[in-house]
Amino acid sequence: MATPARRIAAEVLTRVAQGGAFANLALDAALRQAGALDPREAALATELAYGTLRWQLQLDRALSAHSDRALEDVDEPVRIALRLGAYELIHHGKVPAHAAVNEAVELAKELRAGRATGFVNAVLRRLSETRAAPPLPSREVDPVGHVAALTAHPRWMIERWFRWLGPVEAEKLAAANQQRAPAAVRVARRKATREQAQEALARAGIESHPGKYSPDALILSPGAPPALDIEGHEQGLFQAQDEAAQLVSLFSSPERSARILDACAAPGGKACHLAEIADRGSVLAVDLHARKASSIAEAAQRLGLDNLEARAADATLPIPDVPLESFDLVLLDAPCTGLGTLRRHPEVKLRRTPEDVDRLAQLQAKLLASVQRYVRPGGLLVHAVCTLTPEESEEQVQRFLAAAPQFRVERPPPGFPADALDRDFLRTLPHRTGTDGFFAARLRRTA
């Protein structure tokens, strides 16, 4: 039988490939379902699942070089067994080659792909002779192809980043995306100070240190379990949230008595953070899905936020019983391609297409046109996305301002970290800030 770690990794990869799951959620569910598990097996399952997704494009190049069948013609369970074996051969030098091959063959049997075990064995044994991916395209002849292959990113993505950032910085960004992101939490201001939250984490055996940018952020030590499973979470001492996501709320910088609309609020981290900042005001958190709105309400209750209301509504349409021009701050954390989160969600780069950029930019424009109506004269609209495309960030802002001349770009709040800014915009990039990639613009309504 394959080891528990490899079976769990295969289960996660199956859910991601066939069910469209996010890897982190699928992994958390699989680890919980496994019950009592040696911590080393849990750590290996995590590395195998994430590593295989992170390097999948490289692994497929290596496998294709040793296969007489196109990978797209191979059944999904066989591809999963091959990729896990290839990941161990190329990236796990301490694992003996015969062990990596044998484990993949056993895994294929358990995935009900027994008739393909000979194929899996043959392809991986050929790869085991070099334990390396094929040579990279020439940097001089095909610089985009070179970086795409080197960092296991789709070519179209690297092409866009070359045009946007230039070759040197685009390569640094892609390389940073291949690193595992540290887990982070936001201290709940109503329930604890940062020091008290650190003490609670320490009692649970988890080391942490303050974030670089957000006064509410704690960065957890490698190997920390999901925040949901840490003692102190249910008591409302903290909420899982990357530091860059926390910066969006701090960049919005509402007054303590502000009336706030979070128009696309799930999973609710920013809505709860804003309710903590505007402790004398109120937050209406809206999400399209009733289940997600209910989860936001539960989080607010856990965090002791009695000034947050969550409800299900479509923000592209009039929100029932909500007057126009009635909010001091409207945050639109819009649906986007999510390319700023590839360290946490490597599966996103395997799913996104250039067409997604245009489709989601159009949805964002529709949402902006709708929610701007709820900003009072003199109020603030904040457009935020966790992605790395100009079409969804500054170009989106330019198009909005051309259609809504009653708004103008507002400068960042006083004292905001300078190295998290790009002119007057919030901009974080993984290779610059060590956080997820985010963009946000403050748009002041002047009339």
Q: How many CB atoms lie within 10 A of CB 417?
A: 16
Q: How many CB atoms lie within 10 A of CB 231?
A: 13
The reply to whether 280 and 406 lie within a common domain is yes
Question: Looking at residue 285, which CATH number applies to its domain?
Answer: 3.40.50.150
What pLDDT was estimated at residue 36? 82
Q: What is the pLDDT of residues 358-401, one digit of tens each?
A: 999 999 999 999 999 999 999 999 999 999 999 999 999 999 99
Mean pLDDT, residues 287-300: 97
Asked if the structure places residue 38 within a domain, the reply is yes
CB 430 within 8 A of CB 340: yes
The reply to whether 152 and 263 lie within a common domain is no
CB 82 within 8 A of CB 120: yes
The reply to whether 289 and 202 lie within a common domain is no
Asked if the structure places residue 135 within a domain, the reply is no
Asked if the structure places residue 428 within a domain, the reply is yes
The reply to whether 278 and 198 lie within a common domain is no
Asked if the structure places residue 137 within a domain, the reply is no
Structure tokens given for 163: 């045009």
* Residue in the block written with tokens 């956080």: 435
Helices 39-54 and 4-19 sit at what angle, rounded to 10 degrees? 40
Mean pLDDT, residues 319-337: 97
CB 24 within 8 A of CB 345: yes
Structure tokens given for 10: 């295969």
User: What is the extent of the structural domain holding 173?
Assistant: 143-177
Asked if the structure places residue 377 within a domain, the reply is yes
**% of the chain at pLDDT higher than 70:** 100
Confidence class of residue 331 from pLDDT cuts 50, 70 and 90? very high
Has 336 been annotated as catalytic? no
Question: Looking at residue 214, which CATH number applies to its domain?
Answer: 3.30.70.1170
Contacts of 20 (CB under 8 A, 6+ apart): 351
The reply to whether 173 and 271 lie within a common domain is no
The reply to whether 190 and 119 lie within a common domain is no
Helices 143-151 and 56-64 sit at what angle, rounded to 10 degrees? 100
What pLDDT was estimated at residue 35? 82
What pLDDT was estimated at residue 112? 86
The reply to whether 67 and 26 lie within a common domain is yes
Mean pLDDT, residues 198-224: 94
Instruction: Select from 87, 105, 128 the last residue of a domain.
Output: 128
Q: What is the pLDDT of residues 67-104, one digit of tens each?
A: 999 999 999 999 999 999 999 999 998 999 999 999 99
What pLDDT was estimated at residue 283? 98
Cα–Cα distances (Å) from 230 to 108, 185, 216, in that order, read 35, 11, 18
Asked if the structure places residue 168 within a domain, the reply is yes
Q: Give rounded-to-5 percent helix, strand, coil for the chain.
A: 50, 15, 35
CB 105 within 8 A of CB 10: no
Question: Looking at residue 28, which CATH number applies to its domain?
Answer: 1.10.940.10
Residue 388: which of 354, 437, 352 has the closest Cα? 437
What pLDDT was estimated at residue 224? 86
The reply to whether 227 and 97 lie within a common domain is no
- In terms of Cβ atoms closer than 10 Å to its own Cβ (0-12, 13-18, 19+), residue 291 is exposed
Instruction: Quote the radius of gyration of the chain (alpha carbons, Å).
Output: 23
The reply to whether 378 and 361 lie within a common domain is yes
What pLDDT was estimated at residue 275? 98
CB 293 within 8 A of CB 285: yes
Number of domains in the chain: 4
Q: Which of 264, 272, 336, 386 is catalytic?
A: 386
Mean pLDDT, residues 157-185: 97
The reply to whether 235 and 250 lie within a common domain is no
The reply to whether 229 and 88 lie within a common domain is no
Contacts of 239 (CB under 8 A, 6+ apart): 185, 186, 188, 227, 233, 269, 272, 299, 303
Asked if the structure places residue 134 within a domain, the reply is no
Contacts of 151 (CB under 8 A, 6+ apart): 158, 171, 174, 175, 177, 178
Asked if the structure places residue 112 within a domain, the reply is yes
CB 251 within 8 A of CB 382: yes
Instruction: Select from 221, 240, 259 the last residue of a domain.
Output: 240
The reply to whether 224 and 107 lie within a common domain is no
Written as one string, the DSSP assignment of 250-303 is HHH---TT-EEEETT-TT-HHHHHHHHHTTTSEEEEEES-HHHHHHHHHHHHHT
